[in-house]
Amino acid sequence: MDPAPPSPSRPAAGQRVPMGVAEPAARPDLRRETVAFLGLGALGTPMAANLLAADFPLTVHNRNRQREEPLAALGARRAANPWEAATGSTLLCLCLSDDAAVRAVLLEGPDAASGGLAPGSLVIDFSTIAPASSEELAARLRERGVAYLDAPVTGGTEGARAGTLSVLVGGNEWDLERARPLLEVVGSRVSHFGPVGAGQRVKAVNQVLVAGSYGAVAEALALGERLKLPMEQVCEALMDGAAGSWALRHRSANMLEGRFPLGFRLALHHKDLQIALEAAAATGLELPLSARVAAIEAELMAAGHGDEDVSALARWFAPHPEPPPLATPSPVPSAEAAAWDQRYREGRDGWELGAPAPPLDAFLREDPLRPLPPGEVLVPGCGRGHEAALLAELGFEAIGLDLSGEALQEARRLHGADRPGLRWLQADLLDAAALRSAGLADGSLQGVVEHTCFCAIDPSRRSDYLAAVTRLLAPGGWLLGLFWCHTRPGGPPFGSDPQQLADQLRRAGLIPLLWEPARGSRAERSGEWLGLWQLPAGRD
């Protein structure tokens, strides 16, 4: 690896930097910098992906190391810890959840990033934290000869993927000009508001506006529904008038449907709103509207909705009951359905009438899935519904799908026909129209868990199956499966080489986060592979 190029020269101590210069005569070239990115969450991952797409060399690290995999597949270098990521990097980007996380990653312990930063390097903190914390961090880093910009962003995951975030900057203007080429990749508007801490103060104002606009939309929709108005038509009519807002345009449909995929996590907005309320209190100002929204958010978090989008405020104003169990959304071909019923009765679904798959069970109950965003997860070929019920137990919104009506009848008996977070659907995964009529739109799923359908399906149709899965997955969504890499005596031709299976999955646009022989498989099924594959977050 080539040695890191020298950092751009910085003004001498006490030297005044000319202000109000829009374009310095010798503007720094980002491609001469070395960049590290720490924090690969819903915003950080697409931001880092945009830097890679713009051909900037990048080192990444995340506490959940699996989140590094999609970026590594795009060309990023992985670092084992924050110190290693920072070592040799002249620009260090942070996009972390709160003050404690930023302080821990940057300053605390032997693996802290600050230990790897050389004098003359620059920290660009995209996190939303208290202004006082930014000022403290800047002072601590200044002692090491390291500069700091607080640069919180707004625009949600949509803006992060499109590179159209608004970046709210506090810090030295020279440092801003040095960082500007990078900032203009992640955001379409870069605004400088003054010294360190100013960006965080502007973000506090932003979060007050978000609280008011989301709360107003949720409240207005609840009123319209109680007045029995055609609310989709009402929203369309009001979007371009005085009542129009980003929240009305981009989140009203989700609120009306009672579905709240990320955007921006409600718990994080609650944290940000507390910062704004504390800043207001320090000036003697009361923010009664924001305080009420914060109280509502606290109630929703206590009820388990903190990981949903901020638009989940609509749950408080207009609670949506769990959907009833779904019947067949459209007629299933009787001959095909009868054949699957017969397979189920004879135990030829591959798992003795839908018995649990031990390696899949163990994986679902352990840590790897827990950091993945919550949302709807489909279990095709669900049989008796064991994995679907387990997903519901773990907090996902699980949908068990099967062609066999007898299998679904047994699943309902075992796990409940109206259990919260769990519903059943008799349909063919390849019948897109049927799935749409059941509410499964393209890009609506956070994940798919399966251990029979991919292998039991006719091999000539596997590409169609994978196309159906990737079409249903949201960007960043995942496929977890127990893949059979053998032929079971007397059974269908399941046998495939693991490399061939991996190639099929890659051709479908998926990236491997885990691909290994399945531990805990039954002896006669030693050819099973456990795979966790992800659809890149930057996919259009």
- Would you say 371 and 440 are in contact if contact means Cβ atoms under 8 Å apart? no
Task: Pick the closest to residue 528 from 351, 347, 343 (CA basis).
Answer: 351
What burial class does residue 309 get, using C-beta atoms within 10 Å of its C-beta: 0-12 exposed, 13-18 middle, 19+ buried?
A: buried
Element (H, E) at 286: none
Among candidate residues 61, 161, 192, 203, the one labeled active-site is 203
Q: Which residues contact 315 (CB under 8 A, 6 or more apart)?
A: 258, 260, 300, 303, 305
- Taking the C-alpha atoms of residue 169 and residue 124, their distance in angstroms, rounded to an integer, is 9
Element (H, E) at 400: strand 397-402
Strand ranges across the sheet with 445-450: 422-426, 397-402, 376-380, 445-450, 473-484, 528-534, 511-517
What burial class does residue 107 get, using C-beta atoms within 10 Å of its C-beta: 0-12 exposed, 13-18 middle, 19+ buried?
A: middle
- Taking the C-alpha atoms of residue 247 and residue 214, their distance in angstroms, rounded to an integer, is 6
Place of tokens 């059974």: 491
List the structure tokens of 370. 């827990």
DSSP of 506-536 = HHTT-EEEEEEEPTT--GGGTTEEEEEEE--
Active-site annotation holds for 228 = no
- Taking the C-alpha atoms of residue 95 and residue 416, their distance in angstroms, rounded to an integer, is 41
Cβ neighbours of 500 (radius 10 Å): 11
Place of tokens 């899965």: 469
- Taking the C-alpha atoms of residue 382 and residue 354, their distance in angstroms, rounded to an integer, is 7
List the structure tokens of 408. 């679904």
Q: Which residues are known catalytic residues?
A: 203
